[in-house]
Structure formats: structure tokens, C-alpha cells
Amino acid sequence: MSDFALEVTLREITRENLRSILRLKVALHQEQFVASNAVSLAEAHFEPELPWFRAIYAGEVPVGFLMLEYNAEEQFYFLWRLMLDERYQKHGYGRRALELLFAYVKTLPNADALYTSCVPAEGGPGPFYEKMGFVYTAEEEDGELYMRRTL
């Protein structure tokens, strides 16, 4: 079966799939760009504005993780994490996962844009985000450049 024939879904992380999500890793040279899934899940449980996170599946195989920060009162939606295991990159799974995220965010109150940020370095995710419709804003924080995508 080709990669593009596999259905990509965003699924809740449960006791049953937690270990497989924790085993997912980016390539060594990408570790500077994204925290481990263990760190992300810990943050998700202690940050009040990180209420939504999902495992990315291709068919029945976990391939990645994403996490959304949002504050409905302030109408602010931010892709906090997106990671794909190094074995599953360049198969279209990240693109499809973001399309699913865009569709989900559109259902939230007054959601007209999604933000993210990235480290501006060779091998970073900036070019991928640009292909997905994000554009750089003038904002920067802690060495990361902010990006915005209109929904």
C-alpha cells in the first residue's frame, strides 16, 4: 500500500497507545527544533492553555504528535508542537495532519488564524510551514520566529 493510501488521523493519547507515542523520535539533527513527546505530554498536563494534543496515525501506525495551545477568550490559536518520527517524514503525513488541525481549529470560537513559531536554522521546519500557508510575522521570542496562517 502506498503512503498516500493510508488514512491519516489524529487520535487521543491513551494508556494503550502512550508507550508507542513516547518511542517516536525525530532525527538527531532535528532535536534542537522540537521537544520530545515525553516533555510535550508533561507540558500538556500542567499548562492550562494546552488542552488539546493528539497522536498522528497513518493507518494503524502512530507516526507523530501535535499539540495546540489556545485561549478562546483571546481568540488565540497556536500550534505548539508538531513532530513526526524520522522514519515517517517525507510521506505526506505532516501535511495531512496539519490539514486536519486546520479543519479542527476552524470549529473553535472566532478562529480565523493559526500561529506557530520556529527556530530559523538550516534543517528547521520553516520551509515546511511556508508550504502549508504560514507566513512570517514581525514577532520573535527566545530566538524563534512567529508565523501565521489564515484559516
**Confidence tier at 72 by pLDDT (50, 70, 90):** confident
Q: In the structure grid, which three cell numbers stand for residue 148, read together?
A: 501565521
* Average pLDDT of the residues in 7-29: 95
**Confidence tier at 47 by pLDDT (50, 70, 90):** confident
Nearest to 27 by CA among 80, 81, 88, 68: 88
* Average pLDDT of the residues in 17-42: 91
Q: In this model, does residue 30 exceed pLDDT 50?
A: yes
* Average pLDDT of the residues in 72-81: 87
**Confidence tier at 44 by pLDDT (50, 70, 90):** confident
Domain locations along the chain: 3-150
Q: Report the mean per-residue pLDDT for the chain.
A: 91
Q: What is the pLDDT of residue 50?
A: 67
* Average pLDDT of the residues in 10-16: 96
Q: Which helix H or strand E contains 95, and what residues bound it?
A: helix 93-106
Q: Which of 2-11, 121-130, 132-141 has the lowest mean pLDDT?
A: 2-11
Fold classified for 3-150: Aminopeptidase (3.40.630)
Q: What is the pLDDT of residue 105?
A: 95
- In order, the DSSP letters of 7-60 are PEEEE---TTTHHHHHT----GGGTTTS--HHHHHHHHHH-TT--EEEEEEETT
Q: Which helix H or strand E contains 76, and what residues bound it?
A: strand 76-84
